[in-house]
Amino acid sequence: MVIMNIDDLKEAFTAWNQEQIKANAPKEETYITAKETAKMLGVTLSTLWR
């Protein structure tokens, strides 16, 4: 049996909520270069649309 008072429950929920906000924050988008794309797809740079 776990006994918590309202302040403990509020503190636990606040900490959990902050963790969730950080975990679900939008990630910064990163883009690969045309050269990296061509290498990844196994094509030449001239094949890619610009």
Sorted by sequence, the CB contacts under 8 Å of residue 12 that are 6+ apart come out as 4
Alpha-carbon distance of 11 to 33, in angstroms, equals 45
pLDDT at 3 over 80: yes
* HEC assignment per residue over 1-50: CCCCCHHHHHHHHHHHHHHHHHHCCCCCCCCCCHHHHHHHHCCCHHHCCC
Q: What pLDDT score was predicted for residue 50?
A: 61
Q: What pLDDT score was predicted for residue 24?
A: 86
50 compared with 2, residue with greater pLDDT: 2
This prediction's pTM: 0.46
Q: What is the pLDDT of residues 5-48, one digit of tens each?
A: 999 999 999 999 999 998 888 888 899 999 999 999 999 988 88
Q: What pLDDT score was predicted for residue 13?
A: 95
Q: Does residue 31 contact residue 42 with C-beta atoms inside 8 Å?
A: no
